[in-house]
Amino acid sequence: MPRFLRAQAYLSDVGKTGTEAELTETLAGITSELGFSYFALTHHVDVRRAKQAPIRLNNYPREWVEYYDANALGVSDPVHRAAHVTSVGFVWSEIPRMIAMTPADHEILGRGDAQGIGNGFTVPANVPGESNGSCSFANPKGKALREEDLPIAQLVGAFAFEAARRLWRIRDPLDGQLPRLTDRQRDCVLWVARGKSDWEISRILGIKEDTVARHLKQARERYGVGKRTMLAVQALFEGSISFTDVLKR
Amino acid sequence: MASFAHDIPATLAHPALREMFAARKEVFIDLLGWDVPVIEGRYEIDQFDDGDATYLIVPDAQGGHAGSARLLATTRPHILDSLFPQLCAVTLPRGPDIFEITRFCLARSQGAKARLETRNRLVSGLVDHALDHGIRTYTGVAELGWLQQILAFGWDCRPLGLPVRLGGRMLGALRIDITRETPASLFANGIYVPANLQRLQTLEAA
């Protein structure tokens, strides 16, 4: 099958996954078809200290994963450090030309080697404003990389990382980046959506009409809108109120 | 010395466009090292900056240029069909409702936070512009390093071919399909800025 058609099929499969388990399984299959033994898709953070569980999907041997975490290699891993200095995929043999390698770095690569992860291709996944990450495909030392399929691996890596981000975001939704309303502002907006005037809302909530007007003004400012109707629309759009909230009595 | 069919002095007459062309020189030539012509030592203008290009410009707080993008009609010669047809492995998308995004530019003078905000306003503006004008697909040629960021906006983006190394850069052709659901996807990714906060200017050079 022509190379791009294969790539399109892989990207389509990756895009359709609905859970991390499905994505892991799909990636394992693609990895094998690209001529690799292993893949690893990660956020580059210290797993033990991360606030929210970072993205981590792989089919590495379990022993290696445990050793890696126990020694917090995620922070110092030379593969990850190299992924931070470039934004296109690179083979691991290029790493010494990309970063200054320490004896500890050579030790990490040596240990990985011993575990059967010798030779790899890493696609950086750097998204400004979020953590850095990467998607790597690897082989045991001695098993050559399939050069002609690296452009496909490049696309698969990027789309897989975005699929993982999407799934991770469903599990841990973005907070603090959306203009959340206070409880009182939300109550007032809900009654606006139900068609009540400021005076009517003041009677319903048992507060002064001036206070209602102030809550609504602040809500409008948070959303950057001038009109009452837009307030209701934005709150619905953002999910601060739902259609069920508005319509059920 | 570059020479174009269109009238450079007329193109440079509009102050907002002048600022944009100067910012483009700073970004694409000075920063990214593109091998494209410089006009009067200050401006980056090419053969596609003729009377038919559309520009979306994001102003900064002082009314100067914070960011911009150029849209080219795919029914006329544009970047993908004229300069990089080898990046497209499928039938090249072409039609009155398909436009190419080019010269996506964020002014260098901003801090990182301001630059991200400008980027979000510009991306949101591109989506709203598409919905307002019946554009259902954007195409574009991008350096592969931007791909992750482009995907992270949350819109429906797919490649048109495999990436290719050209002139020392890894380039790929993309398509982005826009629907009524796209603003919500951008919003879910913390990208969407509502139209009244974008404060975008849309210009056509004449």
Query: Could you read off the pLDDT of B70-115 as tens digits, one per residue?
Result: 999 999 999 999 999 999 999 999 999 999 999 999 998 887 788 8
Cβ separation A158–B170 shorter than 8 A: no
Residue A244 tokens, joined:
């069920």
Q: Are strands B137-143 and B98-106 parallel, antiparallel or unpaired?
A: parallel
At B142-172, the pLDDT tens digits run: 999 999 999 999 999 999 999 999 988 999 9
Q: Which residues of A touch B (CB under 8 A)?
A: 2-4, 7-8, 11, 86-89, 124-130, 151-152, 154-155, 158-159, 161-162, 165-166, 169, 174, 177-178, 223-226, 234, 237-238
A44: Cβ–Cβ under 8 A, 6 or more apart, which residues?
A74, A75, A77, A80, A83, A84, A131, A132, A133, A134
Query: Distance (Å) from the C-alpha of residue B149 to the closest C-alpha of chain A?
Result: 5
Mind listing the domains of chain A with CATH numbers?
3-171 (3.30.450.80), 183-247 (1.10.10.10)
Q: Using CA atoms, how far apart are residues B123 and A214, in angstroms rounded to an integer?
A: 33
CA distance A109 to chain B (A): 25
pLDDT at B4 over 80: no
Reply yes or no on whether the pLDDT at B130 is more than 80: yes
Which of A144, A142, A127, A133 has its CA nearest to residue A36? A144
Give the pLDDT score at B14: 81
Residue A176: its pLDDT value, please?
41
Give the tens place of pLDDT for each residue, A177-210. 445 678 788 889 999 999 999 999 999 999 999 9
Confidence label for B2 from pLDDT (cuts 50, 70 and 90): very low
Residue A236 neighbours by CB under 8 Å, 6+ apart: A193, A242, A243, A246
DSSP code of B178? -
Which of B90, B148, B187 lies nearest to residue A126, judging by beta carbons? B148
Residue ranges covered by each domain of chain B: 59-199
Q: What's the CATH fold of domain B59-199?
A: Aminopeptidase (3.40.630)
Nearest CA in chain A to B152: A162
CA distance B151 to A68: 29
- Contact residues of B toward A, CB < 8 A: 89-90, 112, 116, 144-149, 151-152, 154, 158-159, 161-164, 170, 172, 184, 187-190, 194, 196-197
The reply to whether the predicted model has a pTM over 0.95 is no
